[in-house]
Chain A
Amino acid sequence: MKSHLLSRRTLLRGAGVGLALPLLEAMLPRKAAAQTVAPTRLVLLHWPQGCDFGASDWSPGNEGIFFPTAAGASWPMTKCLMPLAPHRADFNLLSGICYGPLERKEESHDHAIALFTGAPHPVGRVGVSQGPSVDQVAARAIGTSSRFSSVGAKLFTDDEGWWSHSAAGVANPLEANPRTLFDRLFPATGGGGGPSPEYGRSASVLDAVKADAARLQRKLGRQDQQRLEQHLTSVRELEKAVAVAPPAPPSTCMSPQAPANGLMTDENVVAYAKAMIDLLVLALECDLTRVTFLSLGPSQNYHKHPHLGVSNVYHTLCHSPPAGTFDPYAGNEAGRRADYHKVTAFYMEQVAYYLSKLKAPRGALPPLLDSAAFVACSEFSDAGGHQPYFLPFIVAGKANKTMTTGQNLTYRCEWNPDFARAPWCANAAGPANRTVNDVWTTTLRAVGALQPNEVFGDVNIGTTGLSGLWA
């Protein structure tokens, strides 16, 4: 043990960047870059509390609030999707995706955990998932050769443990503070005059940590051995980030600017969201990671959006409070809905901003969107009724493949007969009863994280995947 520690430290001291590092596309000569396939990336974006789908009577004039009434490429723009108009040729909208069998076991906000895990979970046990989430499945398959196998972030610190899960019952915390995320992505170690001794020191410390873990491991019961193994996996991931000096940044990786402090408030939500998206795009650009996740806010959302002139909390915009209690929108359901639409449009602006960053030219390199699969979605459609039907999905990016974009892809959702009457459902072109598991299975296959015969999530859902996306 002793000699191993010393030899490793010596190696790090002497060689600085001696350990194997990923081949960065920007390090390649220009000609080679054009011929080499860029690493495939997965970019996930969640927005909270869904979208209004136009009350439940779907009468003329009450339709087309979020989901367009026509399928295919010539769908009419809708009120809530308006901010995405400049990008409409670059994405596909999925209309009619449901949780399927998963939602029958859940209620209220609890089924939201199933959005990214595709697995049922015990009712009311937030933080206890029954399987890994889609970002972590991708991280293990396509994230291993970058410095961070995935980078997860969220807006606001409330509601821990909803979206990202390493394994059943193991929540993967998301970073809510843009400054902390920045420090993690771009640590201040190093400086002038060769590699910092801190890399060698971190390596020594982590070697001792692993030695302690190895001794402890032998004394534990089976379940605890698994938990300690999970811990060790985290330590190994940390090792890549702190114990090995980073490569010279690729030329397309702009010198990072630390985000401002104090962004984590409702008043600053525009700058807050922008800071997070900028950091995640930078992490992709610098190839620090190939899998990113961002949640724009907690489900059951009590945040405000004062910059929209909406003074009530988001939750109240979707729900009326219990009968007999004070309701700021009492007798003004149209006002409630109008404010709900404003907030949905705000979230669509974030989707649009993210897309514009991923589409941006990178000199000789193709835009990130060519190599990335981008999926934005929400845990509800109409959050007022905790609707698990017609979950909105916005899918973009070529993922180093091809995809015909600009379409509204519609699927019949027959889980609830009342809702099967919705125009985009009743007249749907695609097959019936497609679930979140179908979306993720298709996405993970596209980025190379699943084989064509593998499915994501609970195996009893009847997942087949979706046709008409990546080819």
Chain B
Amino acid sequence: MRWVLAATVVLFGCTGSIMGNGPGPGGAGGGTGLDPSSPSACTGAPIDPGPLLMRRLTNAEYRASVELLLGVDAAAEVALFPADLRRTGFDNAFDLQTVSVPHADRYHAASKALVARVFADPSRRAALLGCDPSGGNRTTCLRTFVARLGRLAFRRTLEPEEIDTSFTVTTGETDPLEGAQLAARALLESPSFLWRAEVGPALTGPELATRLSFFLWGAPPDEALLDAAERGELATPAGLEAKARELIADPRARASFERFTDMWFGIDKLATTSRSASAFPQFGDATRAAMRDELHRLFAKHLWAESVPLLDVYTTRTGWLSTELAGIYGVTASGEHDWADHESRGGLFTTAGLLTLTARNDFTSPIQRGLYVRETVLCEKLTLPAGGVPPITIMPGETQEQAESRHTSDPACTGCHLRIDPVGLGLERYDAVGALRTQYPDGKPVKLAGKVLGLDVPDYAGGVELGRIVRTAPAASRCAVQHVFRWAMARMEDKGGIDACTLEQLGDRFESTNQSFTELVVALATHDAFRSRRPNEP
């Protein structure tokens, strides 16, 4: 397989590369999931955890943090924050993070509003304060409050000087409750809260707890986890693994990894996807919700159900129908549905949700669907030719079609287009909301056959066959590993370089556990790459 892929790349002159395909340390052992009989150069090799700058709380992490600190939902405030910039779908790429003026402005307004909301409710306020700051008790109570809230905010025990700073904010107010609000606001706007800074040469217990918690819960460590970390319970591999398994069993992990697959597969985009009202008059909020719901159930099963391999998500015969989806699928059933031997239904590539999010407003785009399979499912990176893609320009006397064909037959373009377009053409039987069709609106018959160049397979027709092809492709297995890696490490993998061994070890673990998602996540959470850090640059 490896050689087939390499040959294809050269043959078509596309500079795209495929995971595990490039030269890397250890030569043939540089990728993952390769011949297990060859001795791996990775055994016992020291792991470079790679570059990692401070990570700013993503908007989702900010919301989860406020939930933990104050017990209120910051959805309305966070909706006004600048959107997180994304890379391959994920919102946590640390090198894209910044606190711009609009960020600082929204953080300031949000902390004021959120703290005021808690303090407006006497019982909530009392619970948050934990003591009565009126009268002679003022100083002790406010300092205790600052220390306890600050520990959750900074995800570690505060230094005395830090308690002083937050306490000082309270002293300008006559009313101790006003003072307490200001202290809480200051904590919520402090860089130590907004940024996850790791400062030591080695990770401290609370720093590792913070990594673990945001990776597995999408939320900061709670008091129990901080306590455990400060007792040194994460310091041993066994202790770390036990804690990771404990966190994964928590409902917070289910919710957080639903976001993970949402971002990996672009499912979250469905929330704002619109369709042409004239072409798809039935498409609306209920349709969007039903599409997302089916995909969420599909992934919940393949992420968490006992002994269900993750990649079965591409071939499963189970679907989940609502009224809206039954209409699109042309059946009358509802609830969990067995597609049995239906020719065109079953597996991720036949779901209305996926087919919608890879289409345009009122038409399908084989380029979009082809790119989706290449990049999102197989983790291929289609690098553009060095000179750039020439624009499609209609020259005198030329038709649009002639201009396009001149473009795609240009040696600089052919390679990539042959890799992209035919994949999508095999899905042309599904329209822009995923319903089956035999012809385009203009009456021309739809193309039925597609081809996944680079994979040693015959032409395919329809999403069921595409699912089978992808299910057995080693690149798809490696791609799942890469996406978990990207999410956990908040960066792209350097698959031919420093991350080669990490990815190989994770891939081996994934394959040897029947593609168990839980085991993959545990393997990463306990891996040296995850539990260590490079020292600061001078």
Contacts and interface: CB of A to CB of B under 8 A. Distances in A.
Contacts of B161: 215
A155 to B, nearest CB: 15
Contact of A326 (B54, B363, B396): B363
A226 to B, nearest CB: 10
A9 B170 CA distance: 12
A321 B424 CA distance: 13
Contacts of A180: 80
B364 interface: yes
B100 A173 contact: yes
A255 interface: no
Interface string A168-204: 0111110101001000100000000000000011101
Contacts of B108: 202, 205-206, 238, 242
B289 interface: no
Contact of A173 (B102, B387, B421, B442): B102
B189 interface: yes
Nearest to B178: A201
A296 B401 CA distance: 31
A215 B162 contact: yes
B538 A222 contact: yes
B238 interface: no
| Range for the number of chain A residues in contact with chain B | 35 or more
Given A216-B197, A219-B197, A227-B53, A171 B172 contact: no
A224 B394 CA distance: 49
B78 to A, nearest CB: 13
Given A106-B388, A208-B169, A325 B99 contact: no
Contacts of A327: 363, 442
Given A166-B100, A201-B182, A386 B391 contact: yes
A56 interface: yes
A271 interface: no
B8 interface: no
A323 B405 contact: yes
Nearest to A172: B100
B338 to A, nearest CB: 32
A208 B166 contact: yes
Contact of B54 (A224, A311, A312): A224
Given A160-B85, A205-B185, A386-B391, A175 B191 contact: no
Contacts of B103: 173, 234
Given A184-B105, A231-B104, A107 B388 contact: yes
A215 B383 CA distance: 43
B358 to A, nearest CB: 13
A408 to B, nearest CB: 24
B366 A325 contact: yes
Interface string B276-308: 001000000000000000000000000000000
Contact of B100 (A56, A108, A213, A234): A234
B168 A325 contact: no
Interface string B322-343: 0000000000000000000000
B104 A325 contact: no
B100 A171 contact: yes
A103 B235 CA distance: 52
A1 B98 contact: no
Contact of B393 (A103, A208, A418): A418
Nearest to A384: B392
B171 interface: yes
B521 to A, nearest CB: 28
Contacts of A211: 165
A380 to B, nearest CB: 10
A212 B360 contact: no
B367 interface: yes
Interface in A99-150: 103-108, 123-128, 148-149
Interface string A263-288: 00000000000000000000000000
B95 A170 contact: no
B101 A237 contact: yes
B96 A169 contact: yes
Contacts of B365: 321-322, 325
B398 to A, nearest CB: 9
B266 to A, nearest CB: 14
Nearest to B403: A385
B126 to A, nearest CB: 22
A471 interface: no
Interface string B191-230: 1101101010000000000000000000000000000000
Contacts of A103: 388
Interface in A304-345: 311-313, 316, 320-328, 330, 333
Interface in A1-34: 1-2, 5-6, 9
Contacts of A85: none
Interface string B356-379: 000011111111000000000000
Contacts of A59: 396
B100 A325 contact: no
A56 B395 contact: yes
A184 B104 CA distance: 12
B396 A56 contact: yes
B315 to A, nearest CB: 27
Contacts of B162: 212, 215
Contact of B104 (A104, A238, A330, A386): A238
B512 to A, nearest CB: 35
A86 interface: no
Contacts of B182: 201, 204-205
Given A220-B54, A234-B99, A123 B169 contact: no
Given A220-B536, A323-B401, A127 B100 contact: no
A85 B178 CA distance: 58
A171 B85 CA distance: 9
A173 B361 contact: no
Nearest to B159: A215
Interface string B83-97: 101010000000111
A220 B197 contact: yes
B363 A160 contact: no
11 contacts: A5-B171, A56-B393, A166-B100, A208-B165, A212-B190, A228-B195, A234-B104, A322-B404, A326-B362, A326-B441, A384-B392
Given A208-B186, A325-B364, 17 more contacts: A2-B171, A128-B95, A128-B96, A172-B102, A173-B82, A173-B100, A205-B111, A205-B186, A208-B165, A209-B190, A227-B98, A231-B99, A324-B425, A324-B428, A325-B363, A325-B366, A326-B442
Interface of B: 53-54, 80, 82-83, 85, 87, 95-105, 108, 111, 161-162, 164-166, 168-169, 171-173, 178, 182, 185-186, 189-192, 194-195, 197, 199, 278, 360-367, 383-384, 387-389, 391-396, 400-401, 404-405, 421, 425, 428, 440-442, 447, 536-538
